[in-house]
Amino acid sequence: MIPLSLQDMQIIIGASVFLLGCMCIVLGAIVLISRGYSREVSAIATHAARLGQKGVVQEMTGLVNSASELLVAINQLVRTASGVGVFLIALGITMIAAGYYVIQQIEWALMS
């Protein structure tokens, strides 16, 4: 068994939380960049808009309602992906601050 002092445990915990915070920030940025408004979502939105215009011209109310509901669902999807990205970044910043706080609590002068 490896003997660890209190200071060693604080260093391990602080470093681990700091690294996990950095990973959360990177993952949040990736989510914001890649899943915010992808090509697939914009293609679906374009086709739904065309479908809605065609329904208006041909006076098909069910088609227009379905197209508008699809556009609302796409908008909600984009908001959700952005919310997840922002949450991950905020969590990462909090974890980095917590890791910094743990490291600051170490009494360095007493370490041997």
Place of tokens 């470093």: 15
Higher per-residue pLDDT: 41 or 75: 75
Q: Residue-wise over 46-77: b if at least 16 C-beta within 10 A, else e?
A: eebeebbeebeeeeeeeebeebeebbeebeee
Give the amino acid at 70: L
| pLDDT band at residue 112 using 50, 70 and 90 as cut-offs | low
pLDDT at 84 over 80: yes
pLDDT at 18 over 90: yes
Q: What is the pTM of this model?
A: 0.69
Percent of the chain with pLDDT over 70: 70
Domain ranges of the chain: 16-107
Q: What is the mean pLDDT of the chain?
A: 80
pLDDT tens by residue, 20-69: 999 999 999 998 888 755 666 667 667 666 766 665 566 666 666 776 77
pLDDT at 100 over 80: yes
Spatial separation of the C-alpha atoms in residues 92 and 34, rounded to whole Å: 18
- The confidence score (pLDDT) of residue 63 equals 63
Mean pLDDT of 86-106: 93
